[in-house]
Amino acid sequence: MKHEKQNQIKGILCDIDGVIFDTEVFQYFASAMMLNKFLGEKFDPELMDDKGLILTKEDYKEHYVGNSTKLIAKNLILKYNIGSTPEEMVEYRTKVIHNLFDLYPVKMIQGAKEPITQMILNKEYSFALATGGTTTETKKKFEKSGILYLLEENNIPTIGFDTKNVKNSKPAPDTYLVAAKSINLAPENCLSIEDTIPGVKSALSAGVLKENNYAVPNWWTEKKDFSIATRVNSLQDITRRLYEK
């Protein structure tokens, strides 16, 4: 039997990195390479890890995962006293991330394909993507994983930080406000799916109800406190709640 709260839901707003695709590692490496590049004369080889990067995975997990590229750049500038602008760093990182997606395969999160396909094809709920990345990145990820047809054949809206009216990235509410509007719904009538604290805060601040604001943690976010959201173990947990009769 459907959960009573699910009867209020008319749409699904879904994040991409860390929810559908196992691409948080790409986000990490792009941020780490950005820091190495812009440290300039402040670069200290003594601080590097075994891959030659100063920003470690643990540091990224603790302080940066889920934040917008611009916010990451601002925080790194403050921490390391970098003499470049956030815009310069974002431009560089965008090129790096596109190169990484060109060079390496994009893998889906284990077990994600079936529930995501079900959510898109089952017309009981409208569906939109709400990502902290760009719409160009999104298309590339779906294309490389062989499921771009799901978006194109079903006219799925993709809202990214380059979308019109998204002036502030997650954790600001803009992404989810625009995503809900793209399927002609109010956020309180939508379910959101995220894997990071900035993501769930973005959905919550847009008006998604806590009980419909789902957090599906992965290796990068498993130790985070998701008490402001509804924590589940997998996308399958969500589809069972949505489609059980």
User: What pLDDT was estimated at residue 229?
Assistant: 98
Confidence class of residue 70 from pLDDT cuts 50, 70 and 90? confident
**Alpha carbons within 13 A on the beta-carbon side of 188:** 1
Structure tokens at 140: 């590339």
Q: What percent of the chain has pLDDT over 70?
A: 92
User: Rounded to 10 degrees, what is the CA torsion of 138, 159, 55, 30?
Assistant: 30
User: What pLDDT was estimated at residue 51?
Assistant: 66
Q: What is the pTM of this model?
A: 0.90
> Which has the closest alpha carbon to 11: 141, 172, 203?
203
Give me the mean pLDDT over the 12-34 stretch. Answer: 95
User: What pLDDT was estimated at residue 5?
Assistant: 47
- Whether 127 has a pLDDT exceeding 50, the answer reads yes
Average confidence score pLDDT of the chain: 91
Give me the mean pLDDT over the 105-129 stretch. Answer: 96
Domains and CATH numbers, the chain: 4-22+107-243 (3.40.50.1000), 24-103 (no CATH)
- Whether 58 has a pLDDT exceeding 50, the answer reads yes
> Which residues are 11's β-sheet partners?
126, 190
Residues 183-241 pLDDT 10s = 999 999 999 999 999 999 999 999 999 999 999 999 999 999 999 999 999 999 999 99
Confidence class of residue 7 from pLDDT cuts 50, 70 and 90? low
- Whether 41 has a pLDDT exceeding 90, the answer reads no
